[in-house]
């Protein structure tokens, strides 16, 4: 077994096309396993293909990211293979097509899926905002159903908008109004078979790059959603945006995971560089520091949490 596992990265993206093998080798040679995350059909397909190229230590999830349910978002680094031109395509989630894909490699989860209220800010009108949120919810529910059918955990992407971010620490009922974490919690409770049939604690999924409040974290844990922390926990604390230290201190060690979200948000001391899975050790070290435990204890626990959730 490795020492670390980066439970959420995108070495399947085009930005790694020139040195992908080196990046993967660097992780594997440094005792680090990784899970490549699909964000739409072609990046999901690439992630699955990579599990066949690297049979030991490389896994995949397949799914449709909430921002890709609409045409409003672009990111040039994010293209699957095949040179398809990227302009966010507004994909409609085709459950059967993804189900077929799940048979083609080591698929350990469904997603990334969920709700993103951050990029909604760039849409033109309140009406468009509502439509976008509805599309996201429809795609999310379909992915919860696919996870139910395949009995797999969910890889959750949850992001709040700028209005809500300023209220990150609030936990009054009013504060949940525009809270993507709360809305994801409600949808999971309604649709996830793991929560409803298997009894608690369920292995429902994981909220990657967690940036919610202590209350959001507690609600997730109550329904079997693990909490994964990413590079920003190593940045200078900005509790007015998110109180990572407070959240990490309050989160039980047996529900914590770590992810790089490569190529984004590299942890210190790599901040500003293209991120890669081997850097997950910096995130684990920070979690250990905040929790006041040894790095060995933190990495051991995080690895066993990941093995349990993803059944690897
Ligand atoms: Zn991601």
Identify whether 263 is preceded by a cis peptide bond (ω within 30 of 0).
Answer: yes
**Residues of 247-262 as b/e, b for ≥16 C-beta within 10 angstroms?**
bbeebebebbbbbbbb
Tell me the pTM. 0.91
pLDDT of 283 reads 98
Q: Round to whole Å and give the CA distance between 88 and 33.
A: 29
113 CA to centre of ligand 1 in angstroms:
9
Q: Round to whole Å and give the CA distance between 249 and 258.
A: 15
8 CA to centre of ligand 1 in angstroms:
6
pLDDT of 197 reads 78
Is there a contact between 281 and 32 (Cβ–Cβ < 8 Å)? yes
Non-local (6+) Cβ contacts of 113 within 8 A are 63, 64, 65, 66, 139, 140, 143, 144, 154, 155, 156, 157
Strands 205-207 and 4-9, sheet pairing: unpaired
Q: Round to whole Å and give the CA distance between 206 and 251.
A: 13
Question: Smallest Cα–Cα separation from 5: which of 52, 43, 56?
Answer: 56
What is the number of domains present in the chain? 1
36 CA to centre of ligand 1 in angstroms:
9
Q: What is the pLDDT along the chain (312 residues), one digit of tens a residue?
A: 999 999 999 999 999 999 999 999 999 999 999 999 999 999 999 999 999 999 999 999 999 999 999 876 556 566 554 444 444 568 999 999 999 999 999 999 999 999 998 877 655 677 887 888 999 999 999 999 999 999 999 999 999 875 444 444 444 444 444 789 999 999 999 999 998 876 666 899 999 999 999 999 999 999 999 999 999 999 999 888 889 999 999 999 999 999 999 999 999 999 999 999 999 999 999 999 999 999 999 999 999 999 999 999
CATH of the domain at 234: 3.20.20.140
Question: Smallest Cα–Cα separation from 158: which of 6, 263, 8, 262?
Answer: 8
Question: Strands of 4-9's sheet, edge to edge?
Answer: 4-9, 32-37, 58-62, 107-116, 154-159, 205-207, 225-229, 256-258
pLDDT of 261 reads 98
112 CA to centre of ligand 1 in angstroms:
7
179 CA to centre of ligand 1 in angstroms:
19
Which residues sit opposite 119 in a β-bridge?
A: none
Residue range of the domain that includes 249: 4-310
């Amino acid at each position: 077994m490795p020492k670390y596992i980066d439970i959420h990265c995108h070495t399947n993206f085009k930005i790694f096309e020139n040195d992908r093998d080196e990046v993967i080798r660097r992780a594997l040679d440094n005792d680090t396993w990784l899970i490549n995350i699909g964000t739409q059909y072609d990046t999901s397909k690439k992630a699955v293909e990579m599990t066949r190229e690297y049979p030991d230590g490389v896994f995949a999830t397949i799914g449709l990211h909430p921002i890709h349910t609409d045409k409003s978002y672009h990111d040039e680094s994010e293209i699957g293979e095949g040179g398809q031109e990227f302009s966010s395509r507004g994909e409609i989630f085709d459950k059967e097509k993804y189900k077929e894909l799940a048979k083609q490699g080591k698929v350990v989860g469904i997603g990334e899926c969920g709700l993103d209220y951050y990029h909604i800010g760039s849409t033109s009108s309140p009406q468009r905002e509502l439509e976008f949120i509805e599309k996201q919810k429809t795609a999310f529910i379909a992915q919860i159903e696919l996870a139910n059918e395949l009995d797999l955990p969910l890889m959750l992407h949850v992001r709040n908008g700028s209005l809500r971010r300023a209220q990150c620490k609030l936990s009054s009922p009013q504060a949940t109004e525009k809270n993507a974490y709360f809305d994801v919690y409600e949808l999971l409770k309604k649709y996830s078979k793991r929560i409803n049939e298997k009894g608690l604690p369920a292995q429902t999924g994981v909220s990657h790059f967690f940036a919610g409040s202590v209350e959001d974290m507690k609600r997730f844990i109550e329904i079997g959603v693990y909490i994964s922390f990413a590079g920003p926990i190593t940045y200078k604390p900005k509790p007015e945006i998110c109180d990572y230290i407070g959240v990490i201190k309050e989160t039980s060690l047996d529900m914590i995971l770590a992810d790089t979200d490569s190529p984004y948000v590299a942890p210190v001391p790599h901040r500003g560089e293209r991120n890669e899975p081997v850097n997950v050790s910096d995130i684990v070290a920070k979690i250990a520091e905040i929790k006041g435990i040894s790095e060995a204890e933190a990495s051991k626990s995080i690895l066993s949490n990941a093995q349990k959730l993803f059944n690897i």
